[in-house]
Structure 1
């Protein structure tokens, strides 16, 4: 690591070495700014170390297993089982070099970086505590806060016996019975993975449905598919207590029943990591929803920006948007000041099957006079050839026939939603799409039928 003096002045200091912080660091460094990156945990951040990347590696095995099962009796014989220890070893082979490799990349790029926990002491200065052994003082003209979020804690008796998403993604063995608390992205994805790997999965949801920001009929279909895969769902229910037993754990539910489990996962929301930064001393305002930012991603301190999951910007908290916002904040620091505008954003729940949406939602469409096309594509060639049991697409068109929104339920949803997002961002209509040539047969070759 390039040495950093005990007190040093920078043009820009960035707290958080995830995709957002790193994108801004390289952009600003390449523009000639003196930059320092501060990270208290793993270089590279949540996504590649213990988030979306390792999760998708586990899902890769699930997809292979499901593809085989879809075609059972249609040309495929035999049974495929997931070997959890081998799968975890495969995941670990990928993640083990992320943090070291990221730090080495910063060194190779001649970008200063400090390992430790940052706390502000005034409007432009922070103390970096390096494990209690020593501290470094960093002062900067501008700051970018990109510290992300962490799983929310639970407060009932025995809640300390639960594990979070990072621990789930590093399990050396998967127990036979798994209870997951939550009804959002992470809960659905982990339930899908655990069930496919052979566990008996119970999903405890406080609300009356899953994934409230998604199309309700799509979610209902996803719930049917989860049910077919053996996931037991309890709605309007909370875990009120967890106790250790001779056989593992026992969760008491709010209506009195109990669930036995070898593992209980808390996936009931996330909270921002800004609460350790002493933001009051930097005159930065925040709420329980994150650091308050304006349309330029500036905080109440005009020289401090917040991006990604920790900012209260009105967009989904996903990695691509974090990087998108960080580049905008970097442009602001470089003097290219303008309000941020967001393109259509593809959001995917990597369940079984996958659920994705982008642009105008179907719920909003009916209020704004848009046209919604609802298509069951389970019998279409793309689904038929893979044996997929449930596939559906809803598209939203404006008065000019342009695609402005879409929802997809399919094992190919993550691929199809990207094509639909590009169509939205380009303002395409059926006529303009029909003039394009796509490889046939493929997911993309179905595009004209969605208008």
Structure 2
């Protein structure tokens, strides 16, 4: 018979959200346990944002050199995939163990295994289908995140997902990526810069449907310039191994041969692994239903981050923000969650970022939209950047309320614009600030 452990708070999922909540609640005097069935630290540092950006760092260094070739830079820069992957592994290999050690050092109880609810307050934690312990808690936080979505066609088992792409020991000459969202574009630009011939297969008629159409068109021009081939309204109907390659049959009859086929068609929540019905928690395919306090239909179970069905971007900073809110709820400070403006970035080359009001539809809603080509501006010129563009939405009081940026500096610039939106800044208030010149920030007043 397995043992039973009683806690004030039990947390399922040891990603950034779950870990933040565990440490904060422990520091507040709560008896806490955090449960993880895979890698301590979660997706972002182990096989998501962090390793992806390590690969992107090399890509950006190569691009900067390429931009200035013939205007001060001589020679050709190439990416050594094996060495780059070794650098990435040097970072990721210690994440899980280091994260677990931080829990030990902090005195936070933690259990490795799969959690499955058996009633409204209790879950069993098992390893290799052997029950290790029953956990009962007054309050629960579900922060189990998402996993890559599957596809169904003959031979789909021959594809690889995002985690496997980020651990490829070598990069084939031909890479096919199925998808038209964030991950597909990010991987396409990385692989193309590293020397692969890349083809994107998009099942709809456009990329990045949540972004401003005009800015996406500009990004597509840049992807095309980088040698990335794109097929729209296209699906794979069959994939088979041929010698040491893979042959993909497309929905319009053509075939493509590649050394690897990457499945990057979005993500789905891991809530379907928890037996939530046993805990009286309502959910749908898109995630766990939560109210304005991030409570589920069971008032003592909360859901945060990617697994919560809420109308906010599924990104790491939002998950951590929600975790902090739930901690305050459990500690007795109860109020509906409110969100600041939240920047979202596609970490390709160039980057595409957005925040606030959708610039593609802002004019229809009474906002003034400014469309600015920044390619000739000093910030872009000094690095030889071939294309840089921003669209901003301004309200009737002259305040910035939305922006979409395409630039190698988009991730930096969008943070300044997010601050401007959250603080309700106008051109007058921005010009009263002093920024280092020349810098990305020093361009800020020109966007109003």
TM-score, normalised via structure 2 length: 0.99
User: Which structure 1 residue ranges, 4+ long, deviate > 6 Å from structure 2?
Assistant: none
Q: Deviations over 1:337-374 (max 9, x none)?
A: 11110000010000110000001111341232111111
Question: CA RMSD for the aligned pairs?
Answer: 0.8
- Residue 155 in 1 paired to residue 152 in 2? yes
Mapping of residues 300-339 of structure 1, within 5 Å: 300-339=297-336
Matched, 1:32 2:67: no
**Structure 1: gaps spanning 5 or more residues:** none
- Tell me the distance in 1 between the aligned counterparts of 2:327 and 2:236: 44
Q: Secondary structure at the match of 2:313?
A: coil
Match of 1:17 in 2: 14
Is the aligned partner of 1:125 residue 2:104?
no
Matched, 1:258 2:255: yes
Between Structure 1 and Structure 2, how many residues are aligned? 447
Which secondary structure state, in structure 2, belongs to the residue aligned with residue 274 of structure 1? helix
Q: Distance in 2 between matches of 1:361 and 1:27?
A: 35
Residue of structure 2 equivalent to 1:108: 105
Pairing 1:99–2:107 present: no
- Is residue 2:32 matched to residue 1:45? no
Whether the aligned pair in 1 keeps the contact of 2:214 and 2:360 (CA below 8 Å) is no
**How far does residue 134 in structure 1 lie from its aligned partner after superposition?**
4.1
**Residue of structure 2 in register with 1:191 after alignment:** 188
Q: Is the 8 A contact 2:202 2:231 kept in 1?
A: yes
1:192-229: per-residue Cα shift (whole Å, max 9, x none)? Answer: 00000000000000000000111111111111111111
**How far apart in 1 are the matches of 2:343 and 2:414?**
6
Instruction: Provide Cα deviations, 1:293-344, integer angstroms capped at 9, x if missing partner.
Output: 0111000000000000000110010000000011111111111111110000
In 2, Cα distance between equivalents of 1:82 and 1:134: 47
> Which residue, 422, 426, 431 being the options, matches 1:429?
426
Could you tell me how far apart the structure 1 residues matched to 2:263 and 2:384 are? 33
1:436-447 matched pairs, under 5 angstroms = 436-447=433-444
SS in 1 for 2:70: coil
Secondary structure of 1:41's partner?
A: coil
CA distance in 1, matches of 2:364, 2:370: 15
2:134 and 2:364 mapped to 1: Cα distance?
A: 53
SS at match of 2:176: strand
Report Cα offsets for 1:26-75 as digits up to 9, x if no partner.
11111111100000000000000000000000000000000000001111
Residue of structure 2 aligned with 1:231, choices 228, 251, 275: 228
Written as runs of structure 1 = structure 2, the 5 A alignment for 1:401-440 is 401-440=398-437
Are the equivalent residues in 1 in contact too, given 2:182–2:208 (CA < 8 A)?
yes
Residue by residue over 1:264-317, the C-alpha shift from the partner in whole angstroms, topping out at 9 and shown as x without a partner, is: 000011100010100000000000110000111000000000000000110010
1:376-415 matched pairs, under 5 angstroms: 376-415=373-412
Q: Determine whether 1:213 maps to 2:210.
A: yes
Distance in 2, matches of 1:28 and 1:62, equals 40
Q: Say if 2:47 is the partner of 1:63.
A: no
SS at match of 2:425: coil
Distance 1:437 1:265 in 2: 46
Shift of the alpha carbon at 1:124? 0.5
Residue 345 of structure 2 aligns to a residue whose secondary structure is strand
Matched residue SS, 1:404: strand
**Residues in 2 aligned to 1:310 and 1:230: alpha-carbon distance in whole angstroms:** 36
User: In 2, distance between residues paired with 1:139 and 1:68?
Assistant: 57
Q: Distance in 1 between matches of 2:229 and 2:373?
A: 26
Asked if 1 retains the 8 angstrom alpha-carbon contact of 2:124 and 2:131, the reply is no
The residue that corresponds to 2:170 in the other structure is 173
